[in-house]
Amino acid sequence: PEKQWSLQDFDIGKPLGRGKFGRVYLAREKSSGFMVALKVLFKSEIKQPNLARQLRREVEIQSHLRHEHILRLFGYFHDEKRVYLILEYACRGELYKILRKYGRFSERRAAKYIMQMSKALLYLHQKHVIHRDIKPENLLVGVHGELKIADFGWSVHAPNSRRKTTCGTLDYLPPEIVEGRDHDENVDLWSLGVLCYEFLVGVPPFEDLSSQQATFRRISRVDLKIPEHISPQAADLIRRLLKHNPTDRLPLDQVLKHPWIIEHTAGATVSEN
């Protein structure tokens, strides 16, 4: 039987971060000493029905997932004002802050992350779950330097035609969502290509700081310029993922066999520092 958790079961530590709704704290479960991340969301902020439905979906989906590159959701509880999600603690922090600190990643580090993301997405797609919000802000780093996909607030069961009213960056949206068309698992392949580009270049491929419309236009036209310093193999993988037609995008099992991934991750299965 599922254990009924409550706030009394935890010692709350330092705040770890914050999302659009709520904050996340380091916490220790008292009887085991197990460290977790406790995500606190205010009911007042998720009052709107679609946010409550989104949260229920996040909990429903993430609580059933078991994968080394997907952040575990161990349980949840609520009091009169707040909802609490008991999440796996990723002790090396947020990937986007590491990316901003370094500016951009080496091809070896980028390829390792893309391989890990591909394995996680393969697992998700086999369960007909599409994440729909793959971006550096939703990626965390575990104790062995491995990636963990967090924040399933936008994940859905495929196929899906629900309008995605984005609050965050638009840079990761694929043409079919930007153009309001139906979408399926292939949206995550597009985002994987955007992620690979941003890891290697330091900025997303279709970013146009002048306006959202300008970014939409560049996405819809797949207006892609790959800088000279990117290796031909990396450029090839990015081009094979950033295809306007969702079914033309390189499937995940092929991504894992791509020469760029093979060359840069040989022997990387052992835990890395």
Ligand X SMILES: CC[C@@H](NC(=O)c1cc2[nH]nc(NC(=O)c3ccc(N4CCN(C)CC4)cc3)c2s1)c1ccccc1
Q: Which of residues 160-219 bind ligand X (CB under 6 A)?
A: none
Q: Which of 27, 39, 76, 230 binds ligand X (CB under 6 A)?
A: 39
Among 133, 151, 171, 188, the active-site one is 133
Structure tokens at 87: 């999440």
Choices 89-97, 174-182, 184-192, 226-234; region in contact with ligand X by CB under 6 A: 89-97
CA 259, CA 130: separation in Å to the nearest integer? 26
Per the annotation, the verdict on 133 as an active-site residue is yes
Q: Which of residues 94-153 bind ligand X (CB under 6 A)?
A: 94, 138, 140, 150-151
Residues touching ligand X: how many (CB under 6 A)? 22
Looking up tokens 């090396």 gives 92
The verdict on 237 binding ligand X (CB under 6 A) reads no
Crossing angle of helices 186-201 and 232-241, in 10° steps, is 150
- How many Å from the N-terminal Cα to the C-terminal Cα in the chain? 38
Residue 25 or 216 with smaller CB distance to ligand X: 25
Q: Which of 35, 91, 214, 226 binds ligand X (CB under 6 A)?
A: 91
Q: Which of 5, 7, 9, 17 binds ligand X (CB under 6 A)?
A: 17
Q: Which of 92, 104, 239, 244 binds ligand X (CB under 6 A)?
A: 92
DSSP at 236: H
Q: Which residues are catalytic?
A: 133
Under the rule (CB under 6 A), what is the footprint of ligand X? 16-19, 21-24, 37, 39, 87-94, 138, 140, 150-151
